[in-house]
Structure 1
Amino acid sequence: MHAATFFDGVGWREGVVELVDGRVWLSDGHSAAGLPRLDGVVLGGFTDHHVHLQLVDHAQLSGSRLGRVVDLGGNPGVLRRLARGGIKNAPATRDSGTFSIPHPHPLVEFAGAFVAAPGGYPSDREWAPEGSVREVADERAAADAVAEMADAGASCLKVTSNSTAGPVFSDDLFRTIVGIAASRSLPVVAHAEGPGEAQRVVALGAARLAHAPFTERLDDEEIARQAASASWISTLAIHDGPARAIAIDNVRRFHAAGGTVLYGTDLGNGPMPNDLNAREVAALREAGVHADALLHALSPLDPLAPSATLLFLPGASPATADPLAARPLIPADLKV
């Protein structure tokens, strides 16, 4: 047994780590006097709030530092199976000296299919998996789409509003979709792209933006409004040039205004690691999201949960914890 400092998703606490049947467990509470202390800090696996599992080799996520992923657009039947069965890979174990421990694999949450206006983004995109788009023309079609996603087990609804790539919903129909989704406890996550779209969809009730606004610089008044009513998923590293600069500037001011910024990479949108993305973390830091704020953006799972992936930052303290230095906590770490 070792005393350990851990991050519970809100703040730093004290607990005990011990080896039980070849697996490292974390428990809450103060340790007995004289117990050796783990040289480092412990936290749960991180969350990527924007992925597309059908566009990547998702088996590679097993054993990564991600404890949870949120798929924001795919075939709901496929995603339901992944959420229920878990992401698996082979081989299922790895050698850690004395013990053979399972590869951790992330929990899967999902939005299901993209909900789009007829002919709207991404209905004409070759990359969109079969069965991953529902084109909604009216309130009845909206109710059917929401019911389908809710019944499949979705935790949110992905609605697209990309005026640079095709038609978008009218204000009335977008607001109607938000209301129908709320009746099934599904917050709306909106892909907003094009002049005025980020402002419009949040004003119409979107709870979250799938991408930090990158089309244009939002004025400070709009930043304050959004900080009070919506959260943003970062996805900063997918951009280059002016779009990247605009997105980072918007995030910097949104974060400073008290807005909730969530780590997300849009995994599947071009080459990137099936793991914690160093470029995304660097971009968040450039936008002023540091220290505990960065950990909150990464939304690590509760490390006290029985199924939690436990990550270890060797030699770190709460003041020096760097998520990029995290690795799985293994039995060898408890050797005195």
Structure 2
Amino acid sequence: MRRVSGGFVVGGFTDHHVHLHLVDVDELTASVLGRVVDLGGNPRELARWAGDGAGSLGIEVAFAGAFLTAPGGYPSDRVWAPEGSVREIADADAALRAVTEMKDAGAAHIKVASNSTAGPVFTDELFTVIVDAAGARGLPVIAHAEGPGEAQRAIRLGATRLAHAPFTERLTEAEIDLQAASAEWISTLAIHGDETYEIAVDNVRRFYEAGGTVLYGTDMGNGPTPVGLNPHEIAALREAGIDGDDLLRTLDPVVGAPPLFIPGADVDPLLAHPLTPADLEA
């Protein structure tokens, strides 16, 4: 971030949890996003969008490729899951093949589904096989952890990032401290309603206060979410106590992306727009 007369210049923002198959990707080119991270899709299609550098969408695209899940596990039965976006993993050999496939496609992460409320999940042993295979290929594991105890289990077994801030249950202070020392959370607060929203915001507030790293992410494509910066997610992060420079850090501005201008004395990302020569003359 660079302070200039009349405001601040920053790189385009990052949404750390999107599903490009489920949105109108052409709208991204007019947004203030400089990078998106797809966390569940057809790896061949995602590789095409990622391309080289800014990729075919005009912004940087990173991806995890297909969801890795237990046979019959989430989201294998979901009508919204695009063809080729799920790999059902029954054993260690299948795990190694799937991780290798994602790596060869250009994945930057591995996405593991661990949703015990919607079907079977991996055993500890098979989850660990996936983590080890991913680690050997330089790929961190991001977990969709849903259901009692799943957030704690995923991190204990070696995932380093949660695709959603925990929303199934209010974590204890000891659990929050362990998470803050071991994991990053992608926020995705605005997708929730009522009780799960309150649980997730409370968990994020205490995780952030404990020194945990929160990353802005919206689960773009999950319902009628904006294709661009989501003001509801920004409001939820502020409700969790994250604002100012810390809020900007959750947005992870992209160095080298087309610059944005944020007018005023305060760093309010909702005021950001693509930098023009007139902004620098103000």
SS state at 2:8 partner:
strand
For residues 99-137 of structure 1, give each alpha carbon's deviation from its aligned partner in whole angstroms, at most 9, with x where no partner exists.
xxxxxx321000000000011000010000000001111
Structure of higher CA gyration radius: 1
Look up the match of 1:130: 83
> Where does 1:45-60 land on structure 2 (aligned, <5 Å)?
45-60=12-27
2-structure distance, mates of 1:254, 1:59: 35
SS state at 1:70 partner:
strand
1-structure distance, mates of 2:220, 2:176: 26
> Which of 176, 179, 190 in structure 2 is aligned with 1:223?
176
TM-score w.r.t. length of structure 2: 0.97
Give the counterpart letter for 1:328 in structure 2.
Answer: P
Checking the alignment, whether the CA contact within 8 Å between 2:248 and 2:267 is kept in structure 1 is no
1-structure distance, mates of 2:5, 2:240: 32
SS state at 2:61 partner:
strand
2-structure distance, mates of 1:229, 1:79: 29
Identity %: 65
1-structure distance, mates of 2:281, 2:160: 46
Residue 313 of structure 1 and its aligned partner are, at CA, apart by 1.1
> Where does 1:1-80 land on structure 2 (aligned, <5 Å)?
7=1, 13=2, 38-80=5-47
Is 1:313 equivalent to 2:280 in the alignment?
no
Checking the alignment, whether the CA contact within 8 Å between 2:189 and 2:201 is kept in structure 1 is yes
Comparing both structures, which one devotes a greater share of its residues to strand?
1
Residue 272 of structure 1 and its aligned partner are, at CA, apart by 1.4
1-structure distance, mates of 2:19, 2:177: 30
Look up the match of 1:98: none
2-structure distance, mates of 1:40, 1:289: 20
Look up the match of 2:120: 167
SS state at 2:6 partner:
strand
SS state at 2:199 partner:
helix
Number of residue pairs the alignment of both structures matches: 280
Checking the alignment, whether the CA contact within 8 Å between 2:143 and 2:161 is kept in structure 1 is yes
SS state at 1:192 partner:
strand
Look up the match of 2:142: 189
For residues 156-207 of structure 1, give each alpha carbon's deviation from its aligned partner in whole angstroms, at most 9, with x where no partner exists.
0000000011000001110111011000011000000011111111111110
Residue 333 of structure 1 and its aligned partner are, at CA, apart by 2.7
Checking the alignment, whether the CA contact within 8 Å between 1:61 and 1:87 is kept in structure 2 is no
TM-score w.r.t. length of structure 1: 0.81
Residue 40 of structure 1 and its aligned partner are, at CA, apart by 1.4
> Where does 1:46-125 land on structure 2 (aligned, <5 Å)?
46-84=13-51, 86-88=55-57, 105-125=58-78
> Which of 242, 246, 251 in structure 2 is aligned with 1:298?
251
Give the counterpart letter for 1:73 in structure 2.
Answer: G
Is 1:238 equivalent to 2:191 in the alignment?
yes
Q: Unpaired segments of 5 or more residues in structure 2?
A: none
Look up the match of 1:330: 276
SS state at 1:273 partner:
coil
Give the counterpart letter for 2:261 in structure 1.
Answer: F
Residue 63 of structure 1 and its aligned partner are, at CA, apart by 1.8
Residue 153 of structure 1 and its aligned partner are, at CA, apart by 0.5
Q: Unpaired segments of 5 or more residues in structure 1?
A: 1-6, 8-12, 15-36, 89-104
Look up the match of 1:254: 207
Residue 87 of structure 1 and its aligned partner are, at CA, apart by 3.9
Checking the alignment, whether the CA contact within 8 Å between 2:48 and 2:56 is kept in structure 1 is no
2-structure distance, mates of 1:76, 1:334: 41
For residues 185-244 of structure 1, give each alpha carbon's deviation from its aligned partner in whole angstroms, at most 9, with x where no partner exists.
110000000111111111111100000000000000000001000000000000001000
Checking the alignment, whether the CA contact within 8 Å between 2:112 and 2:144 is kept in structure 1 is yes
Residue 335 of structure 1 and its aligned partner are, at CA, apart by 4.5
2-structure distance, mates of 1:159, 1:117: 9
Checking the alignment, whether the CA contact within 8 Å between 1:163 and 1:194 is kept in structure 2 is yes
